[in-house]
A = this chain, B = another copy of it.
Amino acid sequence: MTELWYTEKHTKHSGLTMSVIQTILSAKSPYQTLLILDTQEYGKVMLLDSLVMLTEKDEFVYHEMLAHPSLYAHPNPERVLIIGGGDGGTLREVVKHPSVNRAVLVEIDNMVIEASKQYFPQVAVGFSSPKAEVVVTDGIRYVNETDERFDVILIDSTDPIGPAEGLFSKEFYHACHRILNEDGILTTQSETPFLDNFASVIPRVMKNFRSLFPVTKLYLASIPTYPSGLWSFSLGSRKYDPERSFSQERFSRDNLKLSYYNESIHQSAFSLPNFVRELIKE
């Protein structure tokens, strides 16, 4: 029997390898290539430009940890904007919050949305929420042009090369800041602190956030199929300190069904190992 293995190089010299049952979809949009594989270990896997975006087995970590720390740092998030995240996983987490009454998802590539709806129905489930509005356009353009104001903005981007490059720019963060309410929160995925080719992203994002927000924090979560297994998120807040503003009462009342995030993870995710503290030292 032929053994088919997919290997994602995380750096020039290391990577993650997984055995493949079959290729489910291979497609191309004006923005990127999409590959969906069925794998033995991780279930169905979505790759964009040959990088793992999500796997059925561990997508819960990334999506819960991009959404809930910000949504529980804000005392009453009603309007949430998601930039990117076309698979719908972050949207699924956002619409779980009783306080949220409107979640706008802006994705540049409709191919990702359609593929997720077809092949990852448990991830794409948020698209059918009556709270959700999906806008297929460039996130930068949307943020620059909208008149709406948001309580929380989540940047659910691919890596800062290719179509997502502009989503890591100072100009874009500034534009996001403009459309936040005065107690709003902006959070972006910001790569891993462990591997040099990724880790340089973190101080750059944090520096830009510091020029815009009085409160800035980095936090971490463990995602096995992302490079190094340790992933970072950068949070900028106009008012609330996420380590102090968490409401146990609201969290208990909401009683969301989650597999990773909880009241204890909310606090501990902001604890940084020494080498990560060093990376973001001012």
Contacts and interface: CB of A to CB of B under 8 A. Distances in A.
A244 interface: no
Can you tell how many copies of this chain the complex includes?
A: 2
A222 B273 CA distance: 10
Contacts of A16: 14-17
Nearest to A39: B13
A50 interface: no
A194 interface: yes
Contacts of A268: 267-271
Given A194-B58, A273-B260, A40 B19 contact: no
Interface residues of A, number: 42
A13 B19 contact: yes
Contact of A274 (B13, B17, B40, B260): B260
21 contacts: A7-B17, A12-B40, A13-B39, A13-B41, A14-B16, A14-B17, A14-B18, A14-B19, A15-B16, A15-B17, A15-B18, A194-B224, A195-B224, A222-B230, A223-B229, A224-B229, A259-B275, A262-B274, A264-B272, A267-B268, A267-B271
Considering the complex of A and B, which 7 residue pairs feature the smallest CB-CB distances, nearest first?
A229-B229, A268-B268, A268-B271, A13-B40, A264-B271, A14-B41, A222-B230
Interface of A: 7, 11-19, 39-42, 58, 61, 194-195, 220, 222-224, 228-230, 258-262, 264-265, 267-275, 277
